[in-house]
Structure 1
Amino acid sequence: MAQETRFDLVIIGSGPGGYVAAVRAAQLGMKTAVVEKSSRLGGVCLNVGCIPSKALLDASEYYHLAKERFAEYGIKTGKVGLDLATMLARKDKVVEDLTENVRKLMEGNHIEVIHGLATLTAPGTVDVDTGKKKKLTLSAGNILLATGSEPLEVKGLTFDGEYIVSSTEALSFDSVPGRLGIVGGGYIGLELGSVWNRLGSMVTVIEMLPKIAANLDGQVGRTLDRILKRQGMQFKLDTRVVEATVSGKAVKAVLATGDKTETMTFDRLLVSVGRRPLTRGLGLEALAVETDERTGQIVVDQEYRTSVKGIYAIGDLVPGPMLAHKASAEGTAAVECMAGRAGEVNYDTIPAVVYTWPEVASVGLTEEQVREREIPYCVGSFPFSGAGRARCMGETDGFVKLISHGKTDRILGVHIIGPRAADMIAECVLALEFGASSEDISRTIHGHPTFSEALQEAAMHVRQCSIYAS
């Protein structure tokens, strides 16, 4: 007979959604268990996603600065060399430290951590294959699914883990590819393309749409395109990869643009066209948990309840942007709903960040969305070239763009491309949460000299429009 253990809540998955939900549940007095299939906690984000990619982005940026820009600051370094093995080892150490922090967080909150493959066998029952002869059976008042997502495979571009790869393998190349092809011009492709471009790869991004980072505000997207091209990245837009084959130690890719085709050869081909919910093996079909036939996402209500009583789902498994901070917010909200509290997520104020350099960050509506909805609006912008702090650092690319309602002046969206945009966006998220106006931002004193002054100046520019709005 399998061992049975009773919990108030069993969470499947220990990523940013799962572990945050577990801590909140423990704080609310729930006896909680987390089941994780991998040997380390933290999910995709900590192990093969957000954290290692940012570690490499920062490291590659330092390398680029030392090699290309230190001299203009009066810093003499001599010939700068790359020790890729050390760079990758540092990335791995960052990941190790943070996953260990999550383990200690679970331990400190008295959360049971079980490593193994979890399967739903009945409402309130989870079987866990821990690799031992007997499966472990857990029973719980509620079950929260937080298993995240996995890279999408494309027909004709099957991953082989060495030459045709997903983002996971692209974090650990043993050498800098001379020619790196990237299928997909979204956030992940642009970030990893930036890493290897700085380290010496000739990067070509192949995007089937007419623009990269299609979800960005159009003006911001066009600016990012120009800057990345100036940095050496190449883009083939309105183009799809028909097929790719490995020949020797290279990948030959057949590209189609309209009715024309061409063949390009790469040392590595990164396929980064999106992600899909990771639900395989969970047992959703046996319990008739409703999913969207088109996307594979689990259907949930406003309290993250699935179609089966006592089973909840969050993060990449459910509709909405596949972002770690969105999963964390949903994890907290779902657990609070279980506890009878008013847990909720404001999906209108979820920030998005692209960690290229310069960074891109946004929250709220784009100018295109405002026009589509026929909302009267005003736009204010300010270039970082006019900000003293940006001038001091030599980081003058980009601008802040603020969109407000033409009649009420309420802020509708903020879009930033420039230095430290990822950190600046927090003020904008707070402004949207509180229903602030551009005047509120413009009258708020910002430190000088700082990057955030550009936001204040953009807000002042909006006011020039709002005075005359009808």
Structure 2
Amino acid sequence: MSSFDVVVIGSGPGGYVAAIRCAQLGFTTAIIEKYTALGGTCLNVGCIPSKALLDSSHHYYDAIKHFEEHGIEISGEVKVNLEKMIARKAAVVEQTVGGVNFLMNKNKITVFEGMGAFEDATHITITKNDGSTETIEAKNTIIATGSKPSNLPFIKIDKERIITSTEALQLKEVPKHLIIIGGGVIGLELGQVYLRLGAQVSVVEYLDRIIPGMDAALSKELTKVLKKQGMKFYTSHKVKSVQRNGDAVEVQAENAKDETITLEGDYSLVAVGRRPYTEGLNAEKAGVTITERGQIEVNDHLQTTTANIYAIGDVIKGAMLAHKAEEEGVFVAETLAGQKPHIDYNLIPGVVYTWPEVAAVGKTEEQLKEAGVEYKVGSFPFKALGRARASMDTDGFVKILADKKTDEVLGIHMIGARTADLIAEAVTAMEFKASAEDIARMSHAHPTYAEAVKEAALAATDNRAIHV
């Protein structure tokens, strides 16, 4: 029987990063993955493929909407080759997964392909695709089994016309009318892909605004921009039924006044969030407790109710984000090595990769109001930036929230071009307890989108913004 210091179950961003860090620290390490490809949801059917399609569709959209204004004239019709677009996406995924395989070999991590299930706290049986089994011994185990798309109990997902994000990444045609159930990150990103390619897109959201977990100002601005692009929204609507009839899908939803709307399309994307995935793990055999919400119970050290078993990523409490899982994977590895790592969950950024991009870190205005914290606000619009005007990306703003007394930055919220990258400056500043004055005093290269961060900080510091 093979024995390892650490066995990681699941090879998504949390799992494979945890395995690499364990190997770096000198632990004999193995990773178990039930699929034939490493990388989990993020690399195979999530973060990476969706960004590939977002970028491809963005190029097409620019070609038909903006090139002429830039002085670029195209003779003949600009056409979408969806098959080729999907193939490019698949190639990006293959390259990325290949990179993970390389890292496993480089770090001498043993990879087991199959379904891992606990026999007890230190033994895991792997059921391979050919039906054979192998049992290994683990001094310590890290559960990183991730999540699966959620569903509403009355919706039958057929993976053909009523689909999840997985199927939406590999459609063979551009929908005529795509009805999206859920106004969160996944629905909006995939909705914009097909909106750009020519689909009519309608979003039905139960709450009163899209991206409800983010600052309300971001939601308002993104709604305005996406409406301008042609997306339709039905917020404060509860979906009552989703029915397929041949190649048609009918969605009925009800508002607060009990008024029913009926939307008819050819595809419906169910994007109502994700749920922890623990099926087949046999957690109870190892004494690992799973909560009523389906999450694995952990303490502040990410230790489960069994001392030598840890859990990270989507399968535990907190935001379901790849980079959060990565931080937790490193945290557990270093904890096992006797180090004293830390994670500040308040400083885990959130990003929506629509265009304009949306990014945020720290507290929202709503959270500060609810907590009774006195704060001040500084905001700066992208349309006042020379760089944004030069690139024709003038939608959006940067908003900084700072403590009214100490000037410490409490939250930074932004929507606009490249904010997915700009948010790193915000995280760095807040990690080092920067004040709005600190950011305002930093030199920012001109002309850049990052100048909006400096100007917002100036605005939060005695309303000193220069260019507005």
State the TM-score, normalizing by the size of structure 1.
0.97
What SS is found at the alignment partner of 1:464? coil
Query: How far 1:132 moved relative to its partner?
Result: 4.1
1:156 positional shift: 1.7
User: Counterpart in 2 of 1:331?
Assistant: 329
**1:254/1:26 CA distance change after superposition, 3 Å:** same
Which amino acid letter does the alignment assign opposite residue 125 of structure 1? H
Contact 1:241–1:255, Cα closer than 8 Å, also in 2: yes
Q: Counterpart of 1:94 in 2: which secondary structure? A: helix
Alignment of 1:79-90 (within 5 A): 79-90=77-88
Give distance in 2, aligned partners of 1:465 and 1:450: 21
Find the partner of 1:45 among 26, 42, 45. Answer: 42
What CA RMSD, in Å, does the superposition of the two structures yield over aligned residues?
Answer: 1.0
SS state at 2:160 partner: coil
Counterpart Cα distance in 2 of 1:168 and 1:133: 26
**Map of 2:265 onto structure 1:** 266
1:421 to 416, 419, 426: 419
Secondary structure in 2 matching 1:246: strand
Q: Report the CA distance between 1:344 and its aligned residue.
A: 2.1
Are residues 1:30 and 2:27 paired? yes
Partner residue of 1:71 out of 68, 71, 89: 68
Contact 2:104 2:111 in 1 (8 A): yes
> Match of 2:57?
60
Match of 2:286 in 1: 287
8 Å CA contact 1:384–1:396 kept in 2: the answer is: yes
Corresponding residue for residue 357 of structure 1: 355
In the TM superposition, residue 124 of structure 1 has moved relative to its aligned partner by 1.0
Report the Cα distance in structure 1 between the residues aligned to 2:384 and 2:209, rounded to whole angstroms: 28
Q: Deviations over 1:382-412 (max 9, x none)?
A: 1111111111001111100001000100000
Aligned residues: 462
SS in 2 for 1:75: coil
Q: Using the alignment, how far apart are the partners of 2:406 and 2:331 within structure 1?
A: 31
Take 1:401 and 1:131, find their aligned partners in 2: how far apart are those partners? 51
Is residue 2:247 matched to residue 1:252?
no
**Alpha-carbon contact 1:380-1:403 (below 8 Å) kept:** yes
Q: Mind listing any 5+ residue stretches in structure 2 that lack a counterpart?
A: none
Work out whether residues 303 and 343 of structure 1, in 8 Å CA contact, stay in contact via their aligned partners in 2.
no
Aligned mates of 2:263, 2:319 — CA distance in 1: 32
* 1:357 and 1:419 in contact (8 A); partners too: yes
CA shift for structure 1 position 343: 2.1
Distance in structure 2 (CA, Å) of the matches to 1:459 and 1:105: 41
Specify the alignment match of 1:125 in structure 2.
Answer: 123
TM-score by length of 2: 0.97
Q: d(CA) in 2 for partners of 1:131 and 1:37?
A: 8
Asked if the contact 1:335/1:343 (under 8 Å) is kept, the reply is: no
What residue ranges of structure 1 are gaps of 5+ in the alignment? none
Query: In the TM superposition, what is the alpha-carbon distance from 1:134 to its structure 2 partner?
Result: 3.9
Give the CA deviation at 1:248: 1.2
Identity %: 48
Local SS of the residue matching 1:177 = coil
Distance (whole Å) between structure 1 residues aligned to residue 130 and residue 190 of structure 2: 38
Distance apart, 1:465 and its partner CA: 5.4
Instruction: Check whether the contact 2:23–2:107 (CA below 8 A) recurs between aligned residues.
Output: yes
Deviations 1:42-80 (A, max 9, x none): 000000000000000010000000011100000001221
Supply the AA of the counterpart residue of 1:327. Answer: A
Residue 301 of structure 2 aligns to a residue in which SS?
coil
Is the Cα–Cα contact under 8 Å of residues 379 and 465 in structure 1 kept in the other structure?
Answer: no
Counterparts of 1:263 and 1:129, CA distance in 2: 46
C-alpha separation in 2, matches of 1:248 and 1:422: 40
Say which of 386, 391, 394 aligns to 2:392.
394
Q: Equivalent residues in 2 for 1:449-468 (5 A)?
A: 449-464=447-462
Provide, for residues 130-175 of structure 1, a one-character-per-residue CA deviation record: whole Å limited to 9, x for no partner.
1345411110110100010000121221211101111000111100
Q: What SS does the corresponding residue of 2:429 show, helix, strand or coil?
A: helix
Q: Distance in 2 between matches of 1:286 and 1:395?
A: 55
Q: Which piece of structure 1 moves more, 74-83 or 22-31?
A: 74-83
Residue in 1 aligned with 2:150? Answer: 152
Is residue 225 from structure 1 mapped to residue 223 from structure 2 by the alignment? Answer: yes
Which residue is equivalent to 1:307? 305
TM-superposed CA distance for 1:128, in Å, is: 0.2
Judge conservation of contact 1:303–1:344 (CA < 8 Å) in 2.
Answer: no
Tell me whether 1:19 sits opposite 2:16 in the alignment.
Answer: yes
Consecutive aligned runs of 4 or more in structure 1 exceeding 4 Å deviation: none
